[in-house]
Structure formats: structure tokens, C-alpha cells
Amino acid sequence: MGLMLLACVPKTVLPGSGPEKLYEVSVQADFDTSGEGVDVSDYAEQQVFLRGRLLKAETREFRDGSEGHMLRFESFEQAPTAEGPWLRSELSGLSIELRVFPTGEILRVGDAAHIAGAPRHGEVFDILLPALSPMVPAVKPGKESWRRASWPFEVGYQRGWRNEVIALYANQGFEDSALGRTAHLEYAGQLSGKGSDSRMEAEVEVTGEVSGAVWMRTSDAVLLRHELDWTRTVSATYSGDVTLTQVQHFVASARLVEEP
């Protein structure tokens, strides 16, 4: 028990001193919503486009080997169509902390409540977190390997969810780029998850499918690019047998554009 507690203590606090990486991000999201016992016909079909830059910086190290990474939403804009009009996203200027293992495994999302809920919807766009911190297996060119990755998103006591992706990664070979030699992997798999909202007495179930491609730099395993196409169906049951279901479809990309 003592060792477990010790592992939670930050070893070093390095505010803003770690290497920073700037990713350019774009998302096209489609939301199909239906309800039983509640009328959501005004929001049956919604589409939103999101673009901006995510600054990722190491902030601290923990004794268990995990690291704190600040993730800052910079100049985020959103629009109802690909052509605009682009308006400042409420996510813009906000930050969270990802506590991750060097493998990419996300242990905790700090300050999540600040980006959650309307009109920020950070818990919906949480797919950007594993997008920037993918758990990619070591696999040789022409070979395949399974990998499971999960990530939490909690805004309070029993208020949050955990999504999980189990995907088969296939190494498509090595490629040279301006930012270094990369391993190109494509993946496809299943998404699932569970959550709850104690305030609303809601239970949440998630199912879905994922596919995408990642380009990882071979020298230091840094993500250079991620293209994804993920669909998840979110079903929540509230008191009185009221249910809400939303199919969330994301087509997104993240690309490293700047590093020291």
C-alpha cells in the first residue's frame, strides 16, 4: 500500500521546461442523436468542424515512470461546414494534463472538468487524447500486432467515462520525412466503454469501430502524424427509463508541425 501511494507522488515538477511539440489538428464530426422519453429532434443531425493547434509539453515526471504532459488548445476554431464560418472554439486557450506512460498509455486526464460539457465538449472530443498519445505496438514491416489502449475522462466523483480501443496494427513499412524516418502503421479495431454521471444518475455504454494510420518517428517514437476515422455509439440511461443515444463519427488528423 505504501509503495502504491509513493508511486502517485510527482518526482519532479518541471512547469513548462520539458520539450514542447505543436500539433496541427482538424476534426470533422457528425452527431446523430435520438432519445426515448425525451425529444431531441432539434439536434437529430449535427455536424461540426474543428481545427486548431495542440501544444504538448512535458511538465513533470512521476516516480512510477509516468510523465505529465500539458496539452493546450491553441487557436481552436469551429464551424458548421468545411467552408466556415469559422468561430473561436470555447476550447481555445484551455489546458489539461495527460498523465501518461512513455508507451502512450493515458492514466489520467487532469483539469478535465474545465474542457467538458457544452459548449466546450472536451469529453466528446476526447478522441484527440489517444490520437495524440497512441499506444502503438512494436511490429516489424509486413507484420501485425494487437494493442489495447484505454483512456479515462473524469470531471468529478463518478462523473466520467473510460473508452477503450482494441485494434490490430499492421506495419506498412518505413518512410522518410522532413521530421525523420518514420514507421507507418495502419490499424482497425473495436471501441467500447462505460461511464456514469452521478449527478444525473445516468449510466453510459459505448460501442464503436476505429480505423486509422499513424506515422511514428523511429528514432524516438514520437508521433508525427495520425489520421483516424472513428465511430462510437454512446447510449445513456437516465432515471425514469429515459434514454439518449448519439452516434459520434469523427474523421480527424493530427500532424506534428513544430518542435524544438
Supply 225's cell numbers.
502524424
Here's the x/- map for other proteins, 55-94, by CB under 8 A: it reads as ----xx-------x-x-x--------------------xx
Distance of CA 80 to the CA centre of its chain: 21
Chosen residue from 155, 214, 224, 256 binding other proteins by CB under 8 A: 155
Q: Which is nearer to other proteins, 201 or 259 (CB)?
A: 201
Among 30-38, 143-151, 165-173, 183-191, the segment contacting other proteins (CB under 8 A): 30-38
Helix%, strand%, coil% for the chain, nearest 5: 10, 60, 30
Contacting residues for 2 by C-beta, under 8 A, at least 6 apart: none
Element (H, E) at 112: none
Select from 185, 234, 252, 254 the one that contacts other proteins (CB under 8 A): 234
Taking a C-beta distance cutoff of 8 angstroms, is the pair 191, 163 a contact? yes
The grid coordinates of residue 17 equal 521546461
Helix (H) or strand (E) holding 128: helix 128-132
Whether residue 224 contacts residue 255, with contact meaning beta carbons closer than 8 Å, is answered with yes
Query: Among residue numbers 187 through 216, which ones bind other proteins (CB under 8 A)?
Result: 195, 197, 199-202, 204
Asked if 5 is part of the footprint of other proteins (rule: CB under 8 A), the reply reads no
Q: Which of 19, 43, 87, 181 binds other proteins (CB under 8 A)?
A: 43
Q: In Å, what is the CA distance from 182 to each residue of 173, 177, 204? A: 8, 7, 38
Determine which residue in the list 151, 161, 187, 215 makes contact with other proteins, applying CB under 8 A.
161
One of 53, 110, 150, 186 touching other proteins (CB under 8 A): 110
Longest CA pairwise span in the chain (Å): 57
Q: Does 97 bind other proteins (CB under 8 A)?
A: yes
- List 7, 17, 19, 38, residue binding other proteins (CB under 8 A): 38
- The three-point CA angle 37-41-46 to 5° equals 130
**Residues at the site binding other proteins, with contacts judged by CB under 8 A:** 13, 15, 29, 31, 33, 37-40, 42-43, 46, 48, 59-60, 68, 70, 72, 93-97, 110-111, 113-114, 116-119, 121, 123-124, 155, 159-161, 195, 197, 199-202, 204, 234, 236, 238-242, 244, 246, 248
